[in-house]
Structure formats: C-alpha cells, structure tokens
C-alpha cells in the first residue's frame, strides 16, 4: 500500500511503499520495485525518496554494538542517530568528528551524503572517520567495506546517495573532548570582503567556523555575523554547567503570508543587531552551538504545505566576485528566506567518489516555494555555479537539471558502475534522465 511521503523540504511529494527494517540480520524485501534506504529523512529534496517504488526504513536499526571508551571507536547499526551517539559519548569525553547542523540524522544518512560541518576546513567530511561498514546488496551478499577491503565500493558508498546498497552497521572514529562546552565568538561583518578576511584569520586557530549572511538587505550585500569556536581545553572546564533541554514545536503548517519579504527583512534586521558589540565571546553548550534549529522541532512546517527548496552550492575560493554576484541576485529577487549560511571549505580530500564538498566557499539558504519564479531563479544560479566550476549539494536538491548535475559531477558515470541494480532514488532518476 503506497502512501504519500515528503522529505524535510516538503517538496516533492511522492507515493512510495515503506518496508521497515528492524534487525541488521533482516534480508532485503523480495519485490520487483526499486529500493532505497531512508534514515531520518532530513535531506531536503529527493535523494531520500523513491517515487512509486519502495523505501527501506532504517530507524529500526538503532542499536549500538560496541563502544570502546579508551579509543573512541564506535560500532553501531546504521539507523542510530547522531543525537543518540552524542547522548552516549559526550558524558564519556567523546564527540562526533564531523557533525551537520542537525543531530537528527542517522549514521547511514551521514555516510551516504558524506556530510560536512563547521569544521570542514580542518577535518574534512564525515566519510573520513568511517572505519568500516557492512553493505547489504540485492544479491543477498553482505560485504564488509573499508579502506582496505572492497575499497572501491567503500569510496562509492561514502557520498553514494544510498545507491550502492544498504549500510546495515558502521564503525566510526570519534574525537576526544574534555567537556561539552564550546568557547565561541561571534563577530559582525559588513560585507563579503570582511567575511573573507575573518575566514582567513580564523581558519587556522578555530576548529569551527560558519557565518550567517543577510540576503535581504540590498543596501549592503553580504553583511552578517561570523561564528567561530573551539572545544574548551582541560584547563578551562567550568565548575558548574547547566544543560537546557527546552524544545519548541511548530505544531502545524503556518499560512504562507506569515513569511513575506517584510517579516524576513525584520527577522534579519533583528538578528544582525541582536548583539550590541561588534564582537561577543562566551562559553556555550555544544547543543545550541551546533544545532540551533533542533530546538524548534518541525521548523520545516514554518514554510507551509507548499514546502521550500534549500539551495547549497560551493564556488571556488579565488572567485570572490562570484559569491557577491550570487548574493546580489538573490537579494534583488526578494525570494529567499532568512536562513543563509556562508562557510569556507578546506582542502582535506574526502574518500567519497561523488562527495559534494571541495575547496571553496559554500552558501546555503532556503527559498519558500512561490511558483515558477523560485525555480527560475535557482536555475540561473545553477548556471552561474557551473560557469565558475562549482557544484550544488544533492542532499539539499529537488530540482537540479541533468545537464548541470552531470557538469558538477563528471565522475557520475564512473560512479554508476557501483550502483546496485535494484537500488535507485527519485533524485538519481531525475538527474540521469532515467525513467
């Protein structure tokens, strides 16, 4: 019985059959349909959707297998979430080596999208910390892949968008910390040049960097706030530490008119001016520092039923003008929402064949869907990104054309040989033009 589903961006809506997995020993369902694993569905577009086909729901695979608190090696099933890992490991002095901006993602999803975090300039992608995993293929074979065994399949599966098979369990390397607190600094900047300067100064001494930019203030394109931080050292451990666990839920779809150019401008204005001094430094808990949006459960309902598109691209670092041009075009269109993020990616290579991150500047922001004009704007941004040799992130995408996808990822054909014949996704059929 197929039912309607959507991913985090709430676009597109698809009909698919759900096959829940409960045990890592479960075999794949016998079906003529194409299959695809789905974790927590936190991808914005259709990489985790399989229209008119079958989804393997992996959240039932959420058991830990072994954790060595001396070496920080964690061995768990693929449906375990980063939130569950943090709850287990932070009290024992270990942290995720790389984390995206939400902790409600599974290990399987983090591997398949080879996710990145605020420390990409130093640490690279999540895939670098994957020691091994088991891949269950439609032939029934279970392959243990690592940088030593089934190496090519290992590399294809990291960032492989779930197409190479089902990851049933994985072993990852965590990172030592002394305390859950982060030493943070936030600094206002007035334009893109100032952002690049701050980024250059900070990349060396700060593990985590990331900026919020105002994409609506046409008078001064590229003003924003630069956030940087480090885990505290053993000498800085505070005596007392309060952990707040307040959560807010957006209980229903907000009507479209609540998010309009004025409310967005007002939000951005308030956000930019929230700090009175140019620079503020303090100790913060890791949770609000890394996952500010997780405090508002289901914030994606804010954009209403029609949903939204997130756009994340990376453009070469040398080309400052390009990012300014893109920001200008977005600001002029008045179509973007308030959550715009800018960050420098570093050079640390990722093991994944199809991984998105590469050296450059990455910009990510939301666009509530307002019909054809929204799609047209993003199409023209795609072309700009292609011109300068950049790329768009599949895990945020729901609309990229085959031509542009194939230009960003010329290795897609080489990657294709690792795709399991029974696995496919809505995304893959779209960007390869398959039906």
Partner 1 sequence: MRKVLIIGATSAIAQETAKIYAQQQAAFFLVARNQEKLAAIADDLKVRGATQVDYHAMDINELDQHSTVIEQAAACLTGLNTVLIAHGTLDDQKVCEQNFAKTELALKTNFLSVVSLLTDLANRFEKQRYGCIAVISSVAGDRGRQSNYIYGTAKGALNLFLQGLRNRLHRHNICVLTIKPGFVDSPMTASFKKGLLWAKPEIIAKGIVKAIDKRKNEVYLPWFWWGIMFIISNIPEFIFKRMKL
Ligand X SMILES: Cc1cc2nc3c(=O)[nH]c(=O)nc-3n(C[C@H](O)[C@H](O)[C@H](O)COP(=O)(O)OP(=O)(O)OC[C@H]3O[C@@H](n4cnc5c(N)ncnc54)[C@H](O)[C@@H]3O)c2cc1C
**Residue of 108, 124, 222, 368 interacting with ligand X (CB under 6 A):** 108
**Residue of 4, 30, 32, 66 interacting with partner 1 (CB under 8 A):** 66
159, two tokens = 């960032």
Q: Is there binding between residue 113 and ligand X (CB under 6 A)? A: yes
Q: Is there binding between residue 23 and partner 1 (CB under 8 A)? A: yes
**Closest Cα partner for 211 from 197, 190, 228?**
228
Window 35 to 54, contacts with ligand X (CB under 6 A): 36-43, 47-48
Q: Is there binding between residue 22 and partner 1 (CB under 8 A)? A: yes
Q: Is there binding between residue 67 and partner 1 (CB under 8 A)? A: yes
Q: Is there binding between residue 298 and partner 1 (CB under 8 A)? A: no
**CB of 315 closer than 8 Å to CB of 390:** yes
**CB of 169 closer than 8 Å to CB of 65:** yes
Q: Is there binding between residue 101 and ligand X (CB under 6 A)? A: yes
Cβ closer to ligand X: 62 or 324? 62
**Residue of 248, 270, 293, 403 interacting with ligand X (CB under 6 A):** 293
Q: Which residue has the tokens 């995720």?
A: 96
**Rounded CA gap, 200 and 218, in Å?**
25
**Residue of 105, 145, 322, 407 interacting with ligand X (CB under 6 A):** 105
**Residue of 74, 89, 90, 115 interacting with ligand X (CB under 6 A):** 115
Q: Is there binding between residue 355 and ligand X (CB under 6 A)? A: no
Cβ closer to ligand X: 120 or 179? 120
Cβ closer to partner 1: 59 or 399? 59
Sheet holding 35-38, edge to edge: 3-6, 13-20, 54-57, 35-38
Q: How far is CA 383 from CA 3, 102, 389, in A?
A: 35, 29, 10
Residue 22 interacts, among partner 1, ligand X, none and using kind-specific CB cut-offs from 5 to 8 Å, with: partner 1
CA angle 92, 95, 101 (to 5 degrees): 140
**Residue of 153, 166, 313, 322 interacting with ligand X (CB under 6 A):** 166
**Rounded CA gap, 48 and 10, in Å?**
12
Residue 67 interacts, among ligand X, partner 1, none and using kind-specific CB cut-offs from 5 to 8 Å, with: partner 1
Q: Is there binding between residue 110 and ligand X (CB under 6 A)? A: yes
Q: Is there binding between residue 70 and partner 1 (CB under 8 A)? A: no
Q: Is there binding between residue 78 and ligand X (CB under 6 A)? A: yes
Residue 127 interacts, among ligand X, partner 1, none and using kind-specific CB cut-offs from 5 to 8 Å, with: none
Cβ closer to ligand X: 56 or 181? 56
Its sign, for the CA torsion 192, 197, 199, 200, is positive
**Residue of 72, 97, 117, 159 interacting with ligand X (CB under 6 A):** 117
**Rounded CA gap, 375 and 100, in Å?**
26
Cβ closer to ligand X: 60 or 316? 60
Cβ closer to partner 1: 65 or 237? 65
- How many C-beta atoms lie closer than 10 Å to residue 305's C-beta? 14
Mark residues 107-126: x for contact with partner 1 by CB under 8 A, - for none. --------------------
CA angle 176, 179, 183 (to 5 degrees): 105
Residue 78 interacts, among partner 1, ligand X, none and using kind-specific CB cut-offs from 5 to 8 Å, with: ligand X
Cβ closer to ligand X: 202 or 362? 362
Q: Which stretch binds partner 1 (CB under 8 A): 65-73, 180-188, 300-308, 423-431?
A: 65-73
Q: Is there binding between residue 58 and ligand X (CB under 6 A)? A: yes
**CB of 361 closer than 8 Å to CB of 280:** no
Q: Is there binding between residue 88 and partner 1 (CB under 8 A)? A: yes
First-to-final CA distance of the chain: 22
Q: Which stretch binds ligand X (CB under 6 A): 104-112, 218-226, 243-251, 328-336?
A: 104-112
- Minimum CB separation of residue 268 from partner 1 in Å reads 36
Applying CB under 6 A, the residues found at the interface with ligand X are 8, 36-43, 47-48, 58, 78, 100-102, 105-106, 108-110, 112-113, 115-117, 161-162, 166-167, 293, 395, 425
Applying CB under 8 A, the residues found at the interface with partner 1 are 1, 3, 20, 22-25, 60, 63-67, 76, 88
């Amino acid at each position: 019985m197929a039912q309607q589903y959507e991913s985090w961006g709430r676009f597109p809506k698809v009909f698919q059959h759900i096959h829940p997995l409960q045990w890592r020993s479960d075999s794949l369902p016998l079906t003529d349909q194409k299959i695809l694993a789905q974790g927590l569905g936190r991808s914005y577009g259709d990489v985790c959707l399989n229209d008119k086909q079958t989804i393997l729901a992996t959240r039932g695979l959420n058991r830990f297998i072994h954790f060595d608190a001396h070496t920080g090696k964690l061995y768990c099933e693929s449906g375990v979430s980063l939130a569950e890992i943090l709850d287990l490991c932070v009290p024992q002095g270990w942290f995720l080596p790389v984390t995206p901006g939400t902790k409600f993602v599974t290990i399987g999803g983090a591997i398949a999208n080879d996710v990145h975090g605020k420390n990409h300039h130093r640490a690279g992608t999540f895939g670098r910390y994957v020691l091994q995993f088991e891949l269950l293929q439609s032939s029934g074979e279970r392959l243990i892949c690592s940088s030593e065994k089934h190496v090519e399949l290992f590399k294809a599966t990291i960032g492989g968008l779930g197409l190479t098979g089902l990851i049933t369990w994985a072993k990852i390397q965590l990172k030592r910390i002394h305390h859950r607190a982060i030493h943070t600094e936030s600094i206002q900047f007035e334009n893109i040049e100032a952002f690049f300067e701050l980024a250059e100064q900070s990349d060396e001494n700060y593990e985590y960097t990331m900026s919020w930019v105002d994409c609506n203030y046409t008078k001064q394109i590229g003003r924003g706030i630069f956030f940087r931080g480090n885990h505290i050292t053993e000498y800085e451990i505070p005596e007392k530490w309060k952990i707040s666990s307040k959560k807010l839920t957006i209980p229903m779809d907000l009507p479209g008119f609540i998010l309009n150019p004025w409310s967005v401008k007002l939000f951005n204005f308030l956000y930019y001016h929230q700090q009175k001094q140019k620079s503020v430094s303090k100790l913060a808990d890791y949770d609000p520092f890394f996952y500010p949006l997780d405090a508002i459960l289901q914030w994606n309902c804010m954009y209403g039923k029609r949903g939204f598109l997130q756009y994340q691209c990376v453009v070469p670092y040398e080309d400052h003008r390009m990012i300014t041009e893109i920001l200008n075009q977005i600001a002029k269109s008045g179509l973007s929402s308030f959550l715009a993020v800018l960050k420098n990616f570093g050079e640390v290579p990722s093991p994944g064949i199809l991984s998105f991150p590469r050296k450059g500047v990455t910009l990510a922001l939301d666009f509530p869907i307002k019909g054809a004009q929204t799609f047209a704007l993003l199409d023209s941004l795609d072309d700009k990104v292609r011109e300068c040799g950049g790329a768009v992130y599949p895990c945020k995408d729901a609309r990229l054309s085959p031509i542009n996808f194939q230009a960003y990822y010329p290795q897609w054909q080489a990657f294709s040989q690792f795709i399991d014949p029974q696995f496919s996704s809505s995304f893959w059929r779209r960007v390869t033009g398959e039906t």
